[in-house]
Amino acid sequence: MQKKQSITNLFSMIMMFLVWTITQLLRGKREKKFWLNMRRCIKSTISISIIANSIGAYFAMNALSEKKLERAFFISPIVNMEKLITDIMLWTNVKEQELQDKQEIETSFGETLSWKYLCYVRENPIVWNTATDILYAGNDNLTSYETISKFAKETNSSLKIMEDGEHWFHTEEQLAFLDNWLISII
């Protein structure tokens, strides 16, 4: 039980740090300041591992691709943002030229498609060389099995699938699966 509690505390601490980091990046803080703050937070740490989920995994890979990390643990990660954006465009019948002309288009389900963001994603492809363990949900509606398995193969990542899981692990059964997965790999 103590190991599980330690993992839960570690996970909470890392998630708070990632939320803070993403907030700083979205507010336009520069990478140099990000790394100064990160060094301050982890002065006594010899190795760095990350835990991230969904779009947080994408942001982590985008920001940390050239950094030496010990290991990464991704839960329902977005591993191909361009594919997700173009899938949303397909679902909402938005053509690329229309997005370029309008710059931003609000979808019926509350997401905003952005031409600038699509261009950024295309101009900054993810290069990931960190040992990574991935937990994927069989019913993930944002990342297809083909996309996640291609990423896992290309990056030599381990891939664990909860067949009846959803993108957001939130039910008691899904959270128990997540806990057991983390305990088994740490």
Model pLDDT, residue 87: 96
To which residue do tokens 């128990």 refer?
176
Residues in the chain, overall count: 186
Range of the domain at 10: 2-80+128-185
Residues 10 and 91 in one domain: no
Model pLDDT, residue 105: 96
Model pLDDT, residue 1: 46
Query: Could you tell me if 78 and 55 are in contact, meaning their C-beta atoms sit under 8 angstroms apart?
Result: yes
Pairing status of strand 132-139 against strand 158-166? parallel
pLDDT tens figures, 144-162: 999 999 999 999 999 999 9
Residues 55 and 135 in one domain: yes
- The answer for residues whose C-beta is within 8 angstroms of residue 9's C-beta and 6 or more apart is none
Residues 73 and 24 in one domain: yes
Read off the DSSP letter of residue 93.
T
Q: Domain of 10: which CATH number?
A: 3.40.50.1820
Residues 44 and 54 in one domain: yes
The residues of the chain scoring below 70 in pLDDT are 1-46
